[in-house]
Structure 1
């Protein structure tokens, strides 16, 4: 049996390698193997073919040979990860990474890619968070022993944790060091001085510039949050936008850059890809995400645990409890109103094979009914993107019972735009303030403030990397942000003299 101690550089894999090795050695079950480059692993396997004991090997790289061992159930994986922002700091301090945005972004992409490759086998792995074990070796020894089905008595756990304590490793640091491949390290433990110099969490805050932190977070935001790390950007004056056209950033500015509010997203998809509510939730807003597709709703639940997530189609008639829904592969083009010719063109433009959508019946309700059920009577931002079904959604909303400050509504052509303008003509308390490409913004007049119109810009806008649940081929990227103010707003600005 092989035990592969994995994880990216500067993430605790060498410490785990020593924990596993000491457990195996103490019980007389096998031995640790020395360092070898990934390309040399086939020869390592060949040399160990007659070794029937447990073989402990450290590798940052998931080689095809290791994959084969995993698939044949001949290897178990002990894996660790660490806050990628702190990993970047650690690498820069050791001169292993240049301190520039291009290098930092490239490494972040690489780190996440390596993590995702290993995580493919998560059901066969022991996975540990560096921040959870580097100051509690004793608990980590116990957990790894349980994973390996190796019984340790308390005295053995204490012995191993004492041997591998930070203080003991510092004392032993200079005794067995050798130099190889430009690195100085202990031949037996694979530890070098840099492994035992510090255990500070969140060191990126003091060691990276805001732009460098943003460069990491705009790529790794989803990964960081999924592993219970906290994003730094919401504490700054910058805004990492996930919207396709900076809708979230524009809405935030129109509503006075408030740190609190309620955003409702009708057509939330997976809660991340092109989301108009994700970033607002990060800065402190409450969110309600509505997605009718049951398969995509599962992703939404995973990605947005802090949100109120509703698995419903939104209709205009309160007597409709179920409706047919067309679910296509890209997902964001799915809806109750399906234009097959338009969708086919979009697939063709992206070089994707078009398949007929699945037709499924989904539960339906109106916004008025839903908001009453949720006891919601004030909404700061209501975003509606339901592929041509927007007017039906609005028909089911009683604006006398719910106070909506700002609407963001998709209108893909002039027909939809005309319908929307006609609807809001009957609600004179709202003003059309502008658009960014196909999305129209309708703001309640009493919230049209001089300072917000004056300060509307994209100076602090940061474009997030987009992720699609089905992979990169299905990603629709964000466009260059813009906002075309309506004639009414231009007149307002001229009257106030704020051009």
Structure 2
């Protein structure tokens, strides 16, 4: 963590005093740099974020670059071990060891996979990955759930500007629960590809159509994630 912060500060010094620009990314395929570009282009101030499925505090994480830039938000991670790492390394963020519920469910079973990035609340998805030899189920544990709208209502004074959503198999269900009439985040970064080991994952047209129907346009796509921006911001 200290090394990452030093590297980040070194990059800032290079750009400020020597006009040498390097870009440090922590996301899987550069999503954080795209989000940072949008924030800068729109001149957004006091940006907050909601990171659903944070996983690791900085490795392959879409919000850590924002955190280094002085922003803060809420990190949601059901994996107890990873939750403790996030809480220890991101002290300005509020960290919640819960899952996001569907249809007002209060508890569910969380399937912890050998590859933590693939852990999921979807029994079907967990069994599919194990059957196909893509991932092994280490254990399943009971987990408290909170509805996505309650998550925002009780943890933010205003709607978060950025939502990063990676819920491994239940992203569509969460978005179907989302109250777009009440909450209008400026930016969504959503995993829209099914997991594969050889870049043959299927793109979720259902998510893309749902976001379009609710007034969000595609700003960028990195194959793994699609970054949507609220269409009124284009006017």
8 A contact 2:73–2:94 mirrored in 1: yes
* Equivalent position SS for 1:403: coil
- Which of 58, 65, 68 pairs up with 1:279? 65
Greater percentage in helix: 1
Partner of 2:155: 374
Q: Which has the higher contact order (CA 8 A, sep 6+)?
A: 2
CA distance in 2, matches of 1:343, 1:383: 26
So what's the TM-score if we normalise by structure 1? 0.40
Partner of 1:303: 89
Give the deviation of 1:238 after TM superposition: 4.0
- Structure 1 residues 215-226: aligned runs within 5 Å: 220-221=3-4
Superposed CA RMSD: 2.7
CA, structure 1 residues 285+346, in 2 after alignment: closer, same or farther (shift >3 Å)?
farther
Partner of 2:117: 332
Q: Give ranges in structure 1 of 5+ residues lacking alignment.
A: 1-111, 113-216, 348-353, 450-499
Partner of 1:363: 144
Structure 1 position 231 matched with structure 2 position 9: yes
Structure 1 position 254 matched with structure 2 position 38: yes
CA distance in 2, matches of 1:340, 1:232: 45
Give the deviation of 1:287 after TM superposition: 2.3
- Structure 1 residues 149-164: aligned runs within 5 Å: none
Give the deviation of 1:405 after TM superposition: 0.5
Greater Cα radius of gyration, structure 1 or 2: 1
CA distance in 2, matches of 1:255, 1:366: 27
So what's the TM-score if we normalise by structure 2? 0.82
Give the deviation of 1:344 after TM superposition: 6.4
* Equivalent position SS for 1:446: helix
Structure 1 position 412 matched with structure 2 position 193: yes
8 A contact 1:293–1:362 mirrored in 2: no
- Structure 1 residues 68-107: aligned runs within 5 Å: none
Q: Give ranges in structure 2 of 5+ residues lacking alignment.
A: 16-20, 195-200
- Which of 424, 435, 450 pairs up with 2:211? 424
CA, structure 1 residues 431+444, in 2 after alignment: closer, same or farther (shift >3 Å)?
same
CA distance in 2, matches of 1:374, 1:355: 34
Partner of 1:398: 179
8 A contact 1:315–1:392 mirrored in 2: no
CA, structure 1 residues 256+417, in 2 after alignment: closer, same or farther (shift >3 Å)?
same
8 A contact 2:111–2:126 mirrored in 1: no
1:139-169 per-position Cα deviation (integer Å, ceiling 9, x unaligned): xxxxxxxxxxxxxxxxxxxxxxxxxxxxxxx
Structure 1 position 243 matched with structure 2 position 21: no
